[in-house]
Chains A and B, each alone.
Chain A
Amino acid sequence: MSAVAAIATPLSRRQRGRQSAAGALPTLAVGAGSLAVFLVLVLWFTSVGAGEALSTFGRGAFGGVDPISETLTRAVPLAIIGVGAGVALRAGVFNVGGESQMIAGAVAATLVARWFGGAPAVAVWLLAVLAAVVGGAAWAVVPAVLWVRRGVSEILSTLLINFVTTALLAWVLAKTVLHDPDPTVITPQGRQLPAHLDLPLLIHGSRLHIGFLVAVVAVFATAWTLRTATGFRIDLVGANPRLAAQAGVRPTRLRIEVLLISAAFAGLAGAVQLFGLSHRLTTGLTGGVGYTGLLVAVLGRSKPLVTAVAAVVFAALLTGGEALERAGVPRTLSAVVQMVLIIGVALASVTEARR
C-alpha cells in the first residue's frame, strides 16, 4: 500500500460507511476522466476538432522515432526524481524540495567539471554523479534537522529552501566564477561545459542521451531494493509507525534516511540534465521538474515501475501538448490534464485504502 493511501485514512469512522467502493477499474476511470476534460476544453474553447486534436497529440508524443525519443528525453529527469520521491512517500515523507536538490546536484557536478574538466570524460561523469548525489542529499540535511529538533514540517521547510536556492543559483550565475563572461548574454548563465563531457546520444539526430539508461537503472534498482527487507521496513513505517517501532524499526531515523535518499535522486537528476541536455548551468535547468517529479511519484503510486510509466505519460503530455500548440491549442492544456490525472489517482487511492 502506498504511503499516500496510508495517510489518507478517514478522520472519523462515521464517514467511512457512506461511500461505496469505487469501480473495479480505477485506472480506466481516471484515464477516461482525463480524456473527457481534454476533449471538453478543446471542443468548447478552440476551433480544433476532437479527431484532429487527438491525432495531433498522439503524433506529437509517439508518432515516429523523433517524437518518441523526445518524449523519453523529457521523461528521464521525471522518472529519476519520481522514483526517489516515491521511496520517501512510502514512508509518509513529502519531499517537496526536488527543485532545490536538483540545483544543488547540478552545481556540484558543474564544479567537478570545472576542476577536473581535463580528465577523461568517464572519470569526470562518475565523480560528478557522486558529487551531485552528495550535494542533493546535503540540501535535505537542514529540513531533516529542523524536523527532528524543532518539529518543523518537511513540506514547509523543503518548499522554503526551494526559493532560497533559486535565488542562490541566480547569484552564482551572475556573480561567481561560474558566471558566463560572454557580454552578449542577457540572462545570467553558466559557462558552456567542454564538449567532450556531453553525454553520448542513444539515437543520432535526437536529444535522447545515455542518461536514459541511468534512469532505467535507477528505476529497476529501486524496484529491486523495495522488494528486500529494507523496502518492507519503509512500507511498515509508512503504514503504521507505532507498529514499526514495536518491530524494532526506528521510524524517525528511517524517515530521515528516505528524505535524504529522495534528495540524492534529485541531485542525480540535476547532473543528468546538466551533461545530457543543457551542457551548462542555467536558471531554467530544473524547469519545475522537481515539483512534477513528486506528482509523477503520486501518479505512479510510489511503485518504481508504475512511476516510470507515469513519467512517460507526463512527458508525452508535454510533447503532445507542444504539437497541439502548433495546431492552435494552447499547450497549458497539458497541465490541466496532468492535474486531473493526479486528482483522480489521489481519489482512487483513498477508495483503495478503505477496502
Chain B
Amino acid sequence: MSQLISLEFWESVLGGGLRLGLPVGVAAAGELIGERSGTLNLGLEGTMSIGALGGVVGAVSLGAVGGLLLGALAGAVVGLLFAALVLQRRANEVVVGFAVSLGGVGLATFLYRTMYARPPRIVPFKAVDLPGLRSIPLIGPVLFRQPLVVWLLPLTLAAVAWVLHRTRLGLELRAAGDAPQAALARGVAVNRVRTAAVIAAGALGGLGGALLSAGIVGEFSDQLVGGRGFVALVLVIAARWRPSLLLPAAWGIGALQAFQLKVQTSGGIGLPVELLRALPYLVTLIVLAVGVGSANAPRALGRLTE
C-alpha cells in the first residue's frame, strides 16, 4: 500500500496516462466525427491495426513523422472502403464494421509478417525536458517530461470541436447525424458529408494506430492494438459524443491503464486490479443509461439504413 502515497508513483501513473491515452484518444476523435454524421463504424480496431502497420512502414524509411503520415493515409483508405461499402452500396454498417475489425487486424498482421523477417528498427518520439517547468513537483514530470507528440490529442480535439461547432461543414455534418431527412430536404448532400466524415475518421483512426506503433512503442506486434479500437469506441460513448469530454476520458482511461500496469509489475497492492479493468466500461454503461442517453447520441446512429 505504501507506494500509493509516494509522489513518484502518481507522477509515473499520470505521465503514463498521457502517453497511453494519446492513440486511443486520437482514434476516438475520428470515430466521434463519423458517429456525429450518423455513421457507426465498428471497424476501428481494424483501421487502427492497418494504421499501426502503415506507421511502421513509414517510420522505417521516413522517420517517425513519416510513419504518422503514412498511418493516417492507410487509415483514410480503410475509411474510404467503409464509405464505399456502407454509404454508396448500402451494405449493413454493423456487419461491415465487424468484418473490417476482424479482417483489418488479420491483414495488418499478415502483411507485417510477410514484409519483415525480423522487427525493423524504429526510433519513437523521445521525451523532451522543458527546463524550469519540469522541476515543479507532480505537474512537472507529468506534463513537461513528455514527448511533445502527446499534445497532439488536445490539438486534434480542439480542431474537431471547432469544425463541428463553428463551420458550415460541421453544421451539415451534425444535421446529417441528427436529422438526415430534414437535412436532405434543406439541400444538404447527406451522403457526401457522411462520406467525408468517414474518410476523416479513418485517417484519425489510422493516425491513432501509427501513434501507437511508430510514435510511442516503436514496434509492431500481433497484440499491439489489442482491443484499443474498441476502447476508443467506448470513449466516444463515455464522452457523450462531445470532443470536450473526450480529453478527460482519454487521459483518464490512459491513467487507469498505467495504474494497472504499475501495480501489476510491482506485485500487487491488495486491490482486486482485475475488477478495476471493468470500471471504465461499467461507468460508460451507466453514462449511456443515465446520462439522458439517447438525447446525446446522434439520433440516426446505428440505424443508418432504416
**Complex Cα spacing A166 to B277, Å:** 9
Q: Which of A42-80 contact B (CB under 8 A)?
A: 45-46
Q: Most chain-B CB neighbours within 10 Å: which of A174, A291, A339, A343?
A: A339
- Within 8 Å by CB of A163, from B114, B230, B289, lies B230
Which of chain B's residues have a CB closer than 8 A to the CB of A142? 285
The segment from A7-15, A105-113, A120-128, A220-228 found at the interface with B is: A7-15
A338 to B104, CA, bound (A): 11
A203 within 8 Å of B by Cβ? no
Q: Which residues of chain B have C-beta atoms less than 8 A from A11's C-beta? A: 90, 180, 190-191, 304-305
Q: How far is the CA of A294 from the CA of B99 in the complex (A)?
A: 10
Beta-carbon contact of A175 and B272 below 8 Å: yes
User: Is the beta-carbon distance between A157 and B274 smaller than 8 angstroms?
Assistant: no
Binary contact readout B229-263 vs A (1 if CB under 8 angstroms, 0 otherwise): 01001100100000000000000000000000000
Q: Are B305 and A150 in contact (CB under 8 A)?
A: no
- What is the CA–CA distance of A11 and B91 in the complex, to the nearest angstrom? 12
**In the complex, what's the smallest C-beta–C-beta distance from B175 to chain A, in angstroms?**
14
Residue B184 interfacial (CB < 8 Å)? yes
Q: Contacting B285 at CB < 8 Å: which of A155, A160, A339?
A: A160
Partner of A338, one of B102, B278, B305: B102
Cβ of A21 within 8 Å of any chain B Cβ, yes or no, is: no
Q: In the assembled complex, which residues on chain B have CB atoms less than 8 Å from the CB atom of A45?
A: 110-111, 114-115
Say whether A298 faces chain B, with CB atoms less than 8 Å apart: yes
| Contact between B99 and A339, CB atoms less than 8 A apart | yes
Bound form: Cα–Cα A21–B230 in Å: 36
CA distance in complex: A174, B102 (Å): 29
Q: Which residues of A in the span 194-241 have a Cβ within 8 Å of any Cβ on B?
A: none
Q: How far is the CB of B271 from chain A (nearest CB, A)?
A: 11
Is A141 part of the contact surface with B, judged by Cβ < 8 Å? no
B64-103 contacts to A (CB < 8 Å): 85, 89-92, 94-96, 98-100, 102-103
**Residues of chain A contacted by B191 (CB below 8 angstroms):** 11
Provide the residues of chain B in CB contact with A88, threshold 8 Å: none
A residues 1-57 near B (Cβ < 8 Å) are: 4, 7-12, 15, 19, 41, 45-46
**CB distance A164 to B102 under 8 Å?**
no
Q: How many residues of B contact A (CB 8 A)?
A: 54
- Cα A313 to Cα B47 in complex, Å, equals 25
Task: Flag whether A170 is at the interface (Cβ < 8 A).
Answer: yes
Complex contact B106–A156 (CB within 8 A): no
Contacting residues, chain B, for A171 (C-beta < 8 A)? 272, 274-275, 278
Q: Does A193 contact B (CB under 8 A)?
A: no
Q: How far is the CA of A107 from the CA of B276 in the complex (A)?
A: 20
Take A94-B94, A295-B98 as given contacts and tell me if A330 and B113 are in contact as well, using a CB distance cutoff of 8 Å: yes
Given contacts A45-B110, A150-B293, contact A9 B305 (CB under 8 A): yes
**Chain A residues positioned under 8 Å from B91 (CB to CB):** 8, 343, 346-347, 350
Main secondary structure, interface of B, reads helix
Does B10 reach chain A (CB closer than 8 Å)? Answer: no
Please give, as numbers and ranges, the residues of chain A lying within 8 Å of B294 by CB-CB distance.
150-152
Residues of B within 8 Å of A346, CB to CB, are: 85, 91-92, 95-96, 99
Most buried by A among B92, B277, B288: B92
Contact with B along A295-326 (1 / 0, CB 8 A): 10010000000000000000000000000000
The yes or no answer to A249 lying at the interface (CB within 8 A) is no
| Interface residues as binary, A143-172 with B (CB distance below 8 Å gives 1, 0 otherwise) | 000100011110111011101101110110
Chain A nearest CB from B35 CB (Å) reads 10
Residues of chain A within 8 A (CB-CB) of B89 are: 19, 347, 350
Once the chains bind, are A332 and B105 in contact (CB under 8 Å)?
yes
B107 at interface by CB-CB < 8 Å: yes
- CB-nearest residue of chain A relative to B275? A171
What is the CA–CA distance of A347 and B91 in the complex, to the nearest angstrom? 5
Closest Cβ neighbor of B89 among chain A residues = A347
B9 within 8 A of A: no
Enumerate 6 A-B pairs (CB-CB under 8 Å) in ascending A order: A10-B305, A146-B289, A153-B301, A163-B281, A330-B114, A346-B96
Chain A interface residues (CB < 8 Å from chain B)? 4, 7-12, 15, 19, 41, 45-46, 94, 96, 142, 146, 150-153, 155-157, 159-161, 163-164, 166-168, 170-171, 174-175, 291-292, 294-295, 298, 330, 332-336, 338-340, 342-343, 346-347, 349-350
